[in-house]
Amino acid sequence: MASYLVRRLIGVIPVLFMVSLMVFALTQLAPGDPVSMLVSDEASPEDRQKIVEAWGLDRPAPVQYLSFLKNAVLGDFGSSFRYREPVMDLVLARLPASIELAVYATLLAVIIGIPLGVLSAARPNSLLDNAGSLVGFFGVSMPNFWFGILLILVFAGVFNVLPSGGREPWGMDLPSITGFLTIDALIQGRFDVLWTALRHLALPAIVLGTSMTGIIMQLTRATVAEALREDYVMTARAKGLSERLVLWRHAFRNALVAVVTIIGLEFGALISGAIIVETVFSWPGIGMLLIQSITFRDYPLIVGLVLIYTTLFVLVNVAIDILYTIIDPRIRMK
Amino acid sequence: MSAATLGFRHRFNYLLAPKVVFGIAVIALLIAAAIFAPWIAPHDPARQDLMRAMTAPQWGGPHLLGTDHVGRDLLSRIIYGSRISLAIGVAVVLVSGAVGIFLGVISGYFGGRTDSLIQKMLEVFWAFPPLLLAIAIVAFLGQGLGIIIIALASQRWIPYCRLARAEAMALRDREFVVAARSLGASPARILTRHILPNIVPSMVVVGTFAMATAIISEASLSFLGLGVPPTIPTWGSMLADSRAYISTSWWMALFPGLAIFITVLAINLVGDALRSHFDPKLKNI
């Protein structure tokens, strides 16, 4: 196990190295001279000089790349020229908002997707089953940003029951402990803040969680339906167990492995989904930060965010692989 | 009914279902709309008329689907918008298909170091979260039509490559390929005459779904302000415009999204039917 773990982690290094090379190549391929690319038009000559020195732009490209790589490995992506703060600080400040949204979206997908999947498997071709696959099919064809806009239209526009965007209203000053608004509110017993935070979370979490709900539901349905045909299910039924026990304790338990894995595999879709959903709902996370950084041509910030996103994605994928081998040791042999 | 027509009906069962006919009809209509846009569109899609800004949709009125915040006719913009969606969708499918099939077939047929090199490259491109590489490419290289096509194809060649590789590996040792090789056929001839024709069906299925996701991704980029320049009407950028007027002009948010949804739904319906028709085993791609 330990050797497998080490091997998988070492395998990540060349991939991330190539990723950094590709991102660096993109910055080199960008039209215009690198100084004006790295500095906003309004930057003073001193700022330009600082950037030239910080990025070593007077040196040849391979040398530049090596120092870029060295800094990146240490988590130093330079300073955003829009915010005049280190990229890493900016990202870390907004990360809790993104994680909070992603966690609620995932929770929603699990809470809705698993029961619906199990019940559809128990009654194939029932109304619920057919409705589920129909919704799943329509869901794949629906762009998530349009879904978000429609929800804003209905719940914020027509009925005016939920906020159309943002994370917290002004003036609800709550000392930040973890950065996760709902947790901070709970710890400090501020249920008014918790309520507003949840109201702001509702729509973006629904939009971000919807496609995952569909995928979890379909997968749960397929694996539970397969398990229901197994001999041990027949044995359980023969023992006289109630259909409910057979379904949840026997069939569903065996389907759980696949469901846990798919949640991990959906992490990539969650990242790209969050970039769009955060923009739709003006959610102050790193997805919105990325889009804003592109609008403002804040290149150090773009480079930093792309590398941080990709590193996270790669590491989560390795973590899933490792988790999978813990659950099912046969995989390690391959 | 004769045996021949029964056989035909059976073979093309999947392709004659009402939902597939609907899908094909929608796609045909869209292609027609894209090609004949100047003749079909009731108004100039770019003409602003502030006096008529945010006119509600009216059956029989001058603006069937209403106007946007600067008085442009929504129906005309949606008709013109189909051009970008379809053109980019088709181009992305062709570019990613060509790259993916070429690399996949070579990888699978030759194996060895060629294979491991191509697979290593694939792994690097696959390491980026979906859409992020496209966003990065557009962010650095600009928002030209060609760059957007490259950006959207940058990861979409991977499913083609994986499947083409697997199929080429399976075909490599089949009798007819071995026979061709023993008769002295060059690798180039074997690949183009014996391997490629046999993987066309599955590649068509991959391509159909790639088209559907490419249209959604293009609309997403446009929505984020990273698509083609804003002077060209696209469904995604129309939705981005709608955000500021959502409480007053619901039609701005509804119709462009509906256009994307129906288009992608139609392509997915056809893709599903093609998959069932060619090979039910492809269910999991």
The predicted-structure confidence for A107-154, as pLDDT tens digits, reads as follows 999 999 888 888 888 888 888 888 887 877 787 888 999 999 999 999
Min Cα separation A27/chain B (Å): 6
Q: How far is the C-alpha of B269 from the C-alpha of B23, rounded, in Å? A: 6
For residue A46, the model assigns a pLDDT of 79
Which residues of B fall within a CB distance of 8 Å from A29?
140-141
Of the candidates A321, A328, A181, A329, the one whose C-alpha atom is nearest the C-alpha of residue A265 is: A321
- Residue of chain B minimizing CA distance to A309: B129
For residue B104, the model assigns a pLDDT of 96
Min Cα separation B180/chain A (Å): 33
Q: Examine the pLDDT at A334 and tell me if it is beyond 80.
A: no
pLDDT tens across A274-311, in order?
Answer: 999 999 999 999 999 999 999 888 888 999 999 999 99
A180: left (phi over 0), alpha (psi -120 to 50) or beta: beta
Contact flag B216-A156 (C-beta cutoff 8 Å): no
Report the Cα B197 to chain-centroid distance in Å.
22
Percent of chain A with pLDDT strictly greater than 70: 91
Contact flag B220-A23 (C-beta cutoff 8 Å): no
Contacting A residues, span 312-331, partner chain B, CB-CB under 8 Å: 313-314
Q: How far is the C-alpha of A123 from the C-alpha of B181, rounded, in Å? A: 53
Look over chain A and give the mean of its residue pLDDT values, rounded to a whole number. 84
Residues linked to residue A80 through DSSP beta bridges, in sequence order: A85
Helix axes A87-122, A299-327, angle to 10 degrees: 40
Q: Examine the pLDDT at B11 and tell me if it is beyond 70.
A: no
Query: Does B223 contact A at CB distance below 8 Å?
Result: yes
Query: Does B78 contact A at CB distance below 8 Å?
Result: no
At which residue do the structure tokens 């990065």 appear?
A: B136
Contact flag B139-A269 (C-beta cutoff 8 Å): no
Q: How far is the C-alpha of B109 from the C-alpha of B115, rounded, in Å? A: 8
Percent of chain B with pLDDT strictly greater than 90: 64
Which residues of B fall within a CB distance of 8 Å from A153?
246, 250, 253-254
- Residue of chain A minimizing CA distance to B265: A141
pLDDT tens across A25-41, in order?
Answer: 998 888 766 666 566 66
Confidence band of A331 (pLDDT split at 50, 70, 90): low
Q: How far is the C-alpha of A85 from the C-alpha of A78, rounded, in Å? A: 8
Write the single-letter amino acid at A19. V
For residue A165, the model assigns a pLDDT of 83
For residue B147, the model assigns a pLDDT of 95
- Residue of chain B minimizing CA distance to A313: B129
- Residue of chain A minimizing CA distance to B256: A146
Residues 6+ positions from A297 with CB-CB distance below 8 Å: A37, A40
Percent of chain A with pLDDT strictly greater than 90: 29
Min Cα separation B189/chain A (Å): 34
For residue B8, the model assigns a pLDDT of 56
The single-letter DSSP state of residue B238 is H
**Structure token pair of residue B277:** 């028709």
Which residues of A fall within a CB distance of 8 Å from B219?
143, 145
Q: Which of A138, A145, A268 sits opposite B129 (nearest CB)?
A: A268
Q: State mean pLDDT over B24-34.
A: 94
Confidence band of A235 (pLDDT split at 50, 70, 90): confident
Residues 6+ positions from A69 with CB-CB distance below 8 Å: A17, A20, A24
Percent of chain B with pLDDT strictly greater than 70: 92
Contact flag B127-A310 (C-beta cutoff 8 Å): yes
Q: State mean pLDDT over B74-101.
A: 95
pLDDT tens across B200-243, in order?
Answer: 999 999 999 999 999 999 999 999 999 998 889 999 999 999 88
Give the number of beta-carbon pairs within 8 Å between A and B: 124
Which residues of A fall within a CB distance of 8 Å from B283?
none
Q: State mean pLDDT over A166-181.
A: 76
For residue B214, the model assigns a pLDDT of 96
Alpha-carbon distances, residue B174 vs A313, B168, B169, B178 (angstroms): 39, 10, 10, 6
A333 compared with A240, residue with greater pLDDT: A240
Q: Which of B124, B142, B236 sits opposite A31 (nearest CB)?
A: B142
Number of neighbours of residue A71 by Cβ within 10 angstroms: 14
**Structure token pair of residue A319:** 């973590």
Min Cα separation A267/chain B (Å): 8
Confidence band of B1 (pLDDT split at 50, 70, 90): very low
Q: Which of A29, A149, A268 sits opposite B140 (nearest CB)?
A: A29
For residue B112, the model assigns a pLDDT of 92
Lowest-confidence pick of A220-229, A256-265, A282-291, B189-198: A256-265
Q: Which of A29, A294, A299 sits opposite B226 (nearest CB)?
A: A294
Lowest-confidence pick of A52-56, A258-262, A292-296, B28-32: A52-56
pLDDT tens across A198-214, in order?
Answer: 999 999 999 999 888 88
Confidence band of B39 (pLDDT split at 50, 70, 90): very high
Lowest-confidence pick of A84-88, A307-311, B11-15, B120-124: B11-15
State the number of CA atoms in the 13 A half-sphere of A2 facing the CB. 0
Is the ipTM beyond the 0.90 threshold? no
Q: How far is the C-alpha of A161 from the C-alpha of A126, rounded, in Å? A: 34
Q: State mean pLDDT over A233-253.
A: 83
- Contact criterion met (CB below 8 Å) for A214 and A136: yes
For residue B285, the model assigns a pLDDT of 43
Q: Examine the pLDDT at B284 and tell me if it is beyond 60.
A: no
- Residue of chain A minimizing CA distance to B124: A15
For residue A167, the model assigns a pLDDT of 82
B173 compared with B51, residue with greater pLDDT: B173
Contact flag B127-A15 (C-beta cutoff 8 Å): yes
Contact flag A137-B268 (C-beta cutoff 8 Å): yes
Confidence band of A5 (pLDDT split at 50, 70, 90): confident
Min Cα separation A334/chain B (Å): 16
